[in-house]
């Protein structure tokens, strides 16, 4: 889906990087595709330390809008 004119899309792991999540910081030290990268990435995918509530409120504080087509 293309971006809406005048808006930017959320970039992958932007929240994690902005709040300096320790798991994200460890992930950034690893080579993408390595076994250690995959192990740490699994923490993000399956056992995130943050809640959807925290993420949602971060989105609002950064001015993001959640939209969907009709």
The structure tokens listed for 67 are: 């939209």
Check residue 62 and give its pLDDT. Answer: 95
32-45 burial, b at 16+ Cβ within 10 Å, e below that, comes to: eeeeebeebbeebe
Residue 21 or 4, more confident: 21
pLDDT band at 20 (very low <50, low <70, confident <90, very high): very high
pTM of the model: 0.80
Check residue 68 and give its pLDDT. Answer: 81
d(CA 33, CA 23): 16
- Which residue's entry shows tokens 């809008």? 65
d(CA 67, CA 70): 9
pLDDT in tens, 28-58: 999 999 999 999 999 999 999 999 999 999 9
């Amino acid at each position: 889906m293309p971006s809406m004119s005048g808006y930017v899309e959320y970039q992958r792991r932007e929240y994690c990087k902005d709040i300096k999540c320790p798991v994200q910081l460890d992930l950034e030290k690893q080579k993408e595709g390595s076994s250690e990268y995959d192990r740490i990435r699994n923490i993000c995918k399956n056992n995130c330390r943050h809640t959807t509530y925290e993420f949602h409120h971060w989105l609002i504080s950064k001015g993001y809008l959640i939209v969907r087509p009709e």
